[in-house]
C-alpha cells in the first residue's frame, strides 16, 4: 500500500519508514524541510499536502513539536497545540477533499491523555484528569476522529516513553554512562514505556487489521516506577544510580512542564493485547539490553 507519514523525519517516523519499505510498501513523507530530510531515496517527499498525487491508502500522523524539553510558556503552549492540532486539522480537510480517501488514519497521542492518577492501572477506558497535557492529547484525538466522517478507520495511539537508539534514552545515556544518573524526584512515579520495535510493530498491526479502531495504549504490558527504571538502566550499563534529581530543581528548570517527569501514569495496553498483538519486548531489562 501507499502510506503518507507526517513526522516521518523523527525518531519513530524513521523507524516506521524502514519497516514499511522492508515489506514492500510505498511511502510519502510530508516535511516542512524536504531538502534536508535525508531519508531513503525510495521515499517521496513533499512540503505541502496539495503536492501529493495519486492514491494514498493509509495515513500515519506523527507530527508534533517536542513537549518535555522546554518550559511551557504561553508561546510554547501555542506551538505545541498548533504543531499537533492545526496540522491534524489540515490533514483531515485534505482527506475530505480526496475522491478516494485513505482507508485508515493512525494518529498520534500520548499517555499524558490520562493525567496523573497515582498507582491506578489505566487502560483505554480510564477517565482523564484535567491539565494542559491531557487537554492537548484529548483535542488532538478529537481532531483526528473527524476523519471517521469520511468513512476512514481512525486509530489514536497513546504512546508512552519510547526506548530505542534515540528519543528519550539518548538524553539519559550520557549521564548514566558517567555514573551520574538516578531517579527523578521521589522515583515513585510510574513510567509507561515501549520499545521502538513494538511502537513500530503496533502501528503496522493497526494499519493492517481493518477491524481495529479507536484509542490504543502503545505501552509495554509491564510499566515500572522511575526508581526501578533508573536502577535497571544503570545495572545494564554497570554503573551506580544514586544521584537523585531533586523535584524542586526540575520544577525550577521546566516549570509546569516538569509534571511530565515528576508525575506519571501506570498505563496498560489492554486493547492492543486483546487484538492479538504480541510484544517483542514485554519486559524492561531485556528491552534495554537489546538497545545498549
Question: What's residue 128's pLDDT?
Answer: 85
Cα 116 from Cα 102, distance rounded (Å): 35
Q: How confident is the model at residue 267 (pLDDT cuts 50, 70, 90)?
A: very high
Label residue 23 exposed, middle or buried (CB < 10 Å: 0-12, 13-18, 19+): exposed
- Residue 286 makes CB contacts below 8 A (sequence gap 6+) with none
Cα 120 from Cα 126, distance rounded (Å): 10
- Whether the pLDDT of residue 156 is over 80: the answer is yes
**Which CATH number do you get for residue 222?**
3.40.50.720
Cα 198 from Cα 204, distance rounded (Å): 10
Q: Using alpha carbons only, how large is the chain's radius of gyration in Å? A: 19
- The DSSP element (H or E) to which 225 belongs, if any, is strand 224-225
Write out pLDDT tens, residues 61-89: 999 998 988 899 999 999 999 999 999 99
Question: What's residue 33's pLDDT?
Answer: 81
Helix 74-81 to helix 132-145 angle (10° resolution) is: 20
Look up the domain containing 44 and give its range: 2-291
DSSP state of 200: H
Q: How confident is the model at residue 1 (pLDDT cuts 50, 70, 90)?
A: very high
First to last CA, the chain: 33
What average pLDDT score do residues 3-32 get? 95
- Whether the pLDDT of residue 42 is over 90: the answer is yes
Question: What's residue 63's pLDDT?
Answer: 92
Write out pLDDT tens, residues 164-193: 999 889 999 999 999 999 999 999 999 999
Pairing of strands 214-218, 153-159: parallel
Average pLDDT, the chain: 94
Phi, psi (deg, nearest 5) at residue 216: -135, 130
29 forms beta bridges with: 5, 45
SS (H, E, C) 92-106: HHHHHHCCCCCCEEE
Question: What's residue 37's pLDDT?
Answer: 78
What average pLDDT score do residues 153-170 get? 95
Q: Quick count: other Cβ atoms within 10 Å of Cβ 164?
A: 21
Least confident of 66-70, 95-99, 205-209, 270-274: 66-70
- The DSSP element (H or E) to which 136 belongs, if any, is helix 132-145
Confidence (pTM):
0.95
Cα 211 from Cα 103, distance rounded (Å): 11
CB 4 within 8 A of CB 43: no
- Whether the pLDDT of residue 11 is over 80: the answer is yes
Question: What's residue 68's pLDDT?
Answer: 84
Helix (H, G, I), strand (E, B) or coil at 164: strand
Write out pLDDT tens, residues 89-118: 999 999 999 999 999 999 999 999 999 999
Q: What percent of the chain has pLDDT over 90?
A: 85
Write out pLDDT tens, residues 217-259: 999 999 999 999 999 999 999 999 888 999 998 898 899 889 9
Cα 43 from Cα 39, distance rounded (Å): 7
- Whether the pLDDT of residue 161 is over 90: the answer is yes
Overall number of domains in the chain? 1
Amino acid at each position: 500500500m501507499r502510506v503518507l507519514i507526517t513526522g516521518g523525519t523523527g525518531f519513530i517516523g524513521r523507524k516506521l519508514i524502514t519497516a514499511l519499505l522492508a515489506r514492500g510498501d510505498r511511502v510519502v513523507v510530508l516535511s516542512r524541510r524536504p531538502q534536508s530530510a535525508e531519508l531513503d531515496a525510495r521515499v517521496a517527499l513533499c512540503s505541502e499536502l496539495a503536492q501529493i498525487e495519486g492514491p494514498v491508502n493509509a495515513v500515519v500522523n506523527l507530527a508534533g513539536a517536542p513537549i518535555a524539553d522546554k518550559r511551557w510558556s504561553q508561546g510554547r503552549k501555542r506551538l505545541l497545540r498548533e504543531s499537533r492540532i492545526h496540522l491534524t486539522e489540515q490533514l483531515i480537510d485534505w482527506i475530505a477533499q480526496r475522491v478516494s480517501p485513505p482507508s485508515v488514519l493512525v494518529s498520534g497521542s500520548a499517555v499524558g491523555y490520562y493525567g496523573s492518577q497515582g498507582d491506578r492501572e489505566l487502560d483505554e477506558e480510564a477517565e482523564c484528569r484535567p491539565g494542559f497535557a491531557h487537554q492537548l492529547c484529548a483535542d488532538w484525538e478529537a481532531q483526528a476522529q473527524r476523519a471517521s466522517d469520511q468513512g476512514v478507520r481512525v486509530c489514536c495511539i497513546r504512546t508512552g516513553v519510547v526506548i530505542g537508539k534515540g528519543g528519550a534514552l539518548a538524553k539519559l545515556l550520557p549521564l548514566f554512562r558517567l555514573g551520574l544518573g538516578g531517579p527523578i524526584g521521589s522515583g515513585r512515579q510510574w513510567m509507561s514505556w515501549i520499545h521502538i520495535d513494538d511502537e513500530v510493530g503496533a502501528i503496522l498491526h493497526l494499519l493492517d487489521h481493518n477491524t481495529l479502531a479507536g484509542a490504543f495504549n502503545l505501552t509495554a504490558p509491564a510499566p515500572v516506577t522511575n526508581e526501578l527504571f533508573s536502577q535497571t538502566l544503570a545495572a545494564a550499563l554497570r554503573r551506580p544510580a544514586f544521584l537523585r534529581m531533586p523535584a524542586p530543581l526540575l520544577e525550577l528548570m521546566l516549570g509546569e512542564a516538569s509534571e511530565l517527569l515528576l508525575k506519571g501514569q501506570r498505563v496498560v495496553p489492554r486493547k492492543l493485547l486483546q487484538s492479538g498483538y504480541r510484544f517483542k519486548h514485554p519486559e524492561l531489562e531485556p528491552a534495554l539490553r537489546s538497545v545498549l
